[in-house]
Amino acid sequence: MTALAQVPPEQPAAGETESGQVLLNEALQSASILSQKARGTESAAEAKDFAQAVMFLSQVIALLDPSRDEAGIPLEHHANMEQMKADSELQKIKEQAKAQPPNPKKRVTATRDGNRTSYEVDG
């Protein structure tokens, strides 16, 4: 008799849970403390170790935080950049429209002579 494999229920992202937020905050505090220690040490080897630990904590933060992309950049930043790009394009279009002279109105005159009609365009 074979046992059926059970599919685990959908889990929220680590940063979306209360304990995940606590972990994120602790990782941020630890990274800050390690950065200060790296600046204060006189040993290059110790500074390198502290810097490496900060890098690992930064990677953990980037992976756990649901408000950041895989590169650690806040998702809000991407939205702001897209909005700025759209605003810039709109501004360019408005400036181009102002720079172009308005289309002059053309006047068409139709003259009818018997069975013939001739047109004259002014402008």
Residue with tokens 């403390």: 33
Domain count, the chain: 1
**Three-class secondary structure of residue 13 per DSSP:** coil
Give the integer Cα–Cα distance in Å for 66 and 72: 10
Domain that holds residue 34: 14-76
Residue 4: its pLDDT value, please?
56
List, for the chain, all residue ranges whose pLDDT scores fall below the cut of 50.
1
> Is position 20 within any domain?
yes
Paired with 119 in beta bridges are: 110
> Is position 94 within any domain?
no
> Is position 7 within any domain?
no
Residue 19: its pLDDT value, please?
73
Residue 8: its pLDDT value, please?
59
Instruction: Indicate yes or no: pTM above 0.85.
Output: no
> Is position 117 within any domain?
no
3-state helix, strand, coil in the chain (%, to 5): 60, 15, 30
Residue 40: its pLDDT value, please?
83
Residue 2: its pLDDT value, please?
53
Residue 84: its pLDDT value, please?
94
